[in-house]
Amino acid sequence: MQTIRTMRGFWRMFGLVAFVTLFTFAQAAVADEYRPFVLAYTTTGTDVRGEAESVRERLEDAGFQTLGEYPISDARHVVVVTHDDLLRVAGTDERAGYLAPIRVGITRVNGGLQVSYNNLEYFRHAYRVDAPVAAVTGHLAQVLGSERDFGSDDGLSERDLSRYRYAFGMERFDRPYELGSFNSRRAALTELDGNLAARAGGVSEIYRVDIPGQDVTVIGVAIREADGADSDAADLFTLETVDVRDHRHTAYVPYEILVRGGEVEALHMRFRAALHWPDLNMLGANSFMQLRRSPGALEEALQEAAGFEEEPTIDW
């Protein structure tokens, strides 16, 4: 009889251990699914500029450095910051500079304000950066908040992100726009300085940041139809076309130009936009099909800003 009781106790304990183990694995699996944005908080009111100023001040007081601000429209504003710890991560690889800017979007939606930012863990994996960013994400969450991650219903795994492309034949992280080639980073930046000041292609500078330990500069740019950009290339066109869900992806912009030595590049829109809207439908209203001309139009705008010149064709 004692043996039976002992066995029953064993199986009860075994079942409890198995349940806890399965629950732990399930929780880990959930934790390993990443989404592109973090909703910091929502608040009442409609003063987008005032909320942006408050966000900037709070971040600066907490040790973040403001790189620039982008007033996209009356209803959308982005504050771009970075942090010394994040810059050290960005310096671990020559293309990790894409991770350096933290884009905080302030958006007026249905009579209230949403404040959100790009999820560094999500983009770390997408940009194939091995160095951890947990300290920065934790600090950011303390300063601004972290109500929920959003931007993908199911989320994407680290493996999915490291090899991400929206569909077969579309670009991955290692197939950017090639915007120009110069003798040095200084020569490339000199060309960009003049063109961005002139708003060539409708492109203008919002911020720039040099990446420590690398011969790399990242320049965040605005692409505005009012400045002469093709309407299909403009930031606002992209946002107004596909950013229609309850939680807005305003922190999709500014777009980054990466100067690496004398090489100038930017992430291909078919990769970058899809990475920010991984659940977006290919067809129908508010779909990628509505942006079908945008990747080409954006490439032309960025090439003009970078002073891109086609290599002459030799006729034999």
CB 234 within 8 A of CB 270: no
Residue with the larger pLDDT of the pair 2 and 74: 74
pLDDT digits (tens, 9 = 90+) for 32-70: 899 999 999 999 999 999 999 999 999 999 999 999 999
**């050290």: which residue's tokens?**
88
Q: For position 42, what pLDDT does the model report?
A: 98
Residue with the larger pLDDT of the pair 18 and 88: 88
Q: In the structure, what pLDDT confidence band is assigned to residue 18 with cuts at 50, 70 and 90?
A: very low
Question: Is the predicted pLDDT of residue 185 greater than 60, yes or no?
Answer: yes
Rounded to the nearest 10 degrees, the angle between the axes of helix 134-144 and helix 48-61 is 130
Residue with the larger pLDDT of the pair 9 and 207: 207
Locate the domains of the chain by residue range: 37-306
Q: For position 184, what pLDDT does the model report?
A: 98
Q: In the structure, what pLDDT confidence band is assigned to residue 311 with cuts at 50, 70 and 90?
A: low
Q: Write down the CATH superfamily of domain 37-306.
A: TT1751-like domain (3.30.310.70)
